[in-house]
Amino acid sequence: MKSKDIQKVVKTKYENGDGPMKIYRDLAGVVSLKTIKLWIKMINNTSSINLSSSPGRPRIARTKANILRAKWRLDQKKQVSTRKLAVEMDISKSSVHRILREGLACFPYKKIKQPRLTDIQKMKRVKFANWVLNNYTKDDITKWLFTDEKFFDLDGIYNAQNDRVWAMSQEEADKKGATHEKIKFPVKVMVWLGACAEGLTVPVIFEDGTMDAQKYIKEVLPIALKSGKKMLGNNWTYQQDGATPHTHRLSQKWCADHFPEFIPKIRWSSNSPDLCPFDYSL
């Protein structure tokens, strides 16, 4: 049934005394109840259903011209907030949000923190990438065991941006628990973990929060070797970053003597937050 035919049915049934809910049920949900009510309103006002123009309020802010202005402003090098963009375009902030969301299909992505790279570090990254491309296939990469360490303390991770207390005043908010206490020097532990395409290794926890080359060789590397063999078999590669316990000559020798393959310190470039999966999720 075409739209015009449905409109005729709705008009006829309404003129015969049927209400919007009965019309909606009789049509078995072909059109929404909201649409039926809108059409009935048109019938009452104009005695017909005229959709040649939008039945709602005319667009004032989300026009094609404003959408193009917003797109041009976003394409500029200097960033702008929605509040400032609203001032520049002389429209409301909510209109700017609709233009960005609906007119331009934009989404407000958060900035990602990462170490600043020097030119030398960038050059080393390129060399590392070329070395991987020349020595490993895509299937080989699935047999890499990525590893990293992270500190955890009793305070945990707290994001004040996502925690609000509704109150009439700051004093009232404080009484409702609007303060988050943080210990100056919280107790912390260090956790080592490895991950690959087949799963996770057994974690190694250092309760005193420190790890040197001796601890790394004695407590971590044997776990890494055992877990790697169990998950990946006899042909796999061990990855570690440039932390001092990893690059110590004794640690490097242990890796060379025991692992099928590993990434030596001369290959792995420092400050490489996007080369190890743990930098995104640990």
Q: What pLDDT, on the 0 to 100 scale, is given for residue 74?
A: 87
What amino acid is encoded at 172 in this protein?
Answer: E
pLDDT tens by residue, 95-149? 999 999 888 888 888 777 777 888 888 888 899 989 999 999 989 989 999 999 9
Q: What pLDDT, on the 0 to 100 scale, is given for residue 246?
A: 95
Q: So where are the chain's domains?
A: 3-46, 64-103, 127-281
Distance of CA 268 to the CA centre of its chain: 26
Q: How far apart are CA 90 and CA 102, in angstroms?
A: 19
Q: What pLDDT, on the 0 to 100 scale, is given for residue 131?
A: 92
Residues of the chain with pLDDT under 50: none
* DSSP code of residue 30: S
Q: How far apart are CA 133 and CA 141, in angstroms?
A: 10
CATH of 127-281, one of 3.30.70.930, 3.30.420.10, 3.30.70.260, 3.40.50.12280: 3.30.420.10
For residue 235, the SS3 value is coil
Q: How far apart are CA 59 and CA 26, in angstroms?
A: 34
Token pair listed for 253 = 């020798």
Q: What pLDDT, on the 0 to 100 scale, is given for residue 273?
A: 61
Strands 144-153 and 188-196, sheet pairing:
antiparallel
